Chains A and B, each alone.
Chain A
Amino acid sequence: MSKIETRGLSLFYGNFQALIDVNVQIKEKMITALIGPSGCGKSTFLRTLNRMNDLIDGIRITGEVLIDGENIYGNRTDLVLLRKKVGMVFQRPNSFPLSVFDNVAYGPRIHGSKNKAELEDIVEESLRHVELWDILKDKLDHSALNLSLEQQQRLCIARLVAVTPEVVLMDEPCSALDPVATSKVEELMAELKKQYTILIVTHNMQQAARVSDRTGFMLLGKLLEYGETRQVFTNPKEKKTEEYITGRYG
């Protein structure tokens, strides 16, 4: 069974249809890249998967999104549980103006780990996971906002890992980072893939080709092509995909 499946998913911002009949099946423990020109609906699609779009006024969604076989737009969905399970990393690192420790401990604390020793374990494990532990273990009480952008982005991933999600959505997670930092985050993604199902939106073709197993190409709200990354990049079925990948689009 696929981890995530959408059936006839459409989304309207008021009268504007931003997603048109998206059907896709995403396998577990793989990295799926979403590419496509600006405004084609990549972020919108990503945000339907943890229902972050619900915050927007005047939005309407039709179709189904199944995660582990359950429709998250059904009326029995617990948003808190859903978002614990489907975490999100944003374009700009959005660490809280708190200490490193409190940033990572934020989720677990609210979800009920009150015990100090338990929290310390979670923080250490999460920071190890994103390879920040050795750098930050003596600076746990420093403000997270003093870290470099790359470290902050890692910290945001650690903060997410601390609530043990199963799916990680990343919306252009490297767009605020320089090339060296980018390649470090990419290495981290390859590592995270062992445990998590990852979806990444990127404008960087090389990045999509480098890190992902599957690639989806979106255009004007439609998922035009979806398949193995190698196939999409070397032998796309759609002419539009080829044009976009080779940089001849628009």
Chain B
Amino acid sequence: MKIRAKSHLKISTQTQQKIAFTFLGIASILVIVPVIVIFVILIQKGLPAINWQFLTAMPRMGMRAGGIFPAIMGTLYLVSGTIVVALPLGVLAAIYLVEYARQNFLTRMIEVAIVNLAGVPSVVYGLFGMGLFVIYLKLGVSIIAGALTLAIMILPVIITSSKEALQSVPRSFREASLALGVSKWQTICCVVLPNALPGILTGTILGISRAAGETAPILFTVAAFYLPRLPKSIFDQCMALPYHLYVLSTQVPNVNPKIQYGTALVLVGIVFLLNLVAIIVRSHIRSKKQW
């Protein structure tokens, strides 16, 4: 009798376990299903639109034909501008916070501010950018205003990941360097930064991929509705993929859906590629990291 009761119990824990596993499995499948569905649909409907001409030609006939070249280039310009501004600023801020600042009220406030900035909706950044850069600083609707706005948006990501990367460099490296009579700044440049670089790069790429895909921050600061030429300078407007996609889908009647899907595929492809680079960098470094 006793044994039976026990074995009965055992089966029921096993069943419990099975049920739990099933639910966990379902949950994780539910996570990847949307990703796969989006990719399949985009590829299925967008791939036929993509050819050399689509990628390299100007849009024609009110964007109903031709290519998306200026939008691709505009996004690349914006992304480069964003890196140029956000990377040095973010890394320097992180260096200050990790290596120099003492723990006090001010640094704690800065850290709280960074966390909160990361949660601000992107449209707020867009309006802020318009107010500050476009109107107040009189930069006009321009690449530089857009890049600055995007840079501010991704600064929290870059600062946070750079801080983590700097903190993960072992203290013993710093001590070894300082004990050789190397100054603190030289130690940061020669030992700490090279070892933190992979983490910094990963964070930067993730920030950049977000910047590449956002519409709201560029809406009021840089994006041109229809500008079938390349920008002449950083004070010029430009087209950009996310905004172009929005325009194609909502503002222009009778667009061949092929073009819409093709544009979406190019945008997702760029973002995906950037993320892939981040993943590869990270895993490459992780396999090489020996401390």
Which residues of A approach B to under 8 Å, CB–CB?
50, 52, 55, 57, 79-85, 87-88, 90, 92, 94-97, 106-107, 110-111, 143, 145, 156, 159-160, 163
Contacts and interface: CB of A to CB of B under 8 A. Distances in A.
A50 B102 CA distance: 23
Contacts of B178: 52, 55, 83
Contact of A94 (B172, B181, B182, B289): B172
Given A96-B191, A145-B291, A50 B179 contact: yes
B15 interface: no
A82 B181 contact: yes
Contacts of A145: 290-291
A94 B180 contact: no
Contacts of B110: none
B177 A106 contact: yes
Contact of B173 (A50, A79, A96): A96
B182 A96 contact: no
8 contacts: A81-B181, A87-B180, A88-B175, A94-B176, A95-B176, A96-B176, A107-B180, A159-B180
Contacts of B289: 97
Contacts of A90: 172, 175-176, 179
Given A84-B181, A97-B291, 9 more contacts: A79-B183, A90-B172, A92-B172, A94-B170, A94-B175, A96-B173, A96-B191, A97-B195, A163-B181
Interface centre among B179, B190, B195, by most chain A C-beta atoms within 10 angstroms, is B179
B180 A84 contact: yes
A111 B181 CA distance: 8
Interface residues of B, number: 20
B290 A97 contact: yes
Contacts of B180: 83-84, 87, 106-107, 110, 159-160, 163
B186 interface: yes
B6 to A, nearest CB: 50
B175 to A, nearest CB: 7
Contacts of A107: 180-182
B191 to A, nearest CB: 6
A168 to B, nearest CB: 10
A104 B172 CA distance: 16
Contacts of B186: 110
Contacts of B170: 94
Interface string B105-137: 000000000000000000000000000000000
Contacts of A106: 177, 180, 182, 190
Contacts of B181: 79-85, 87, 107, 111, 163
Contacts of B173: 94, 96
A57 B173 CA distance: 19
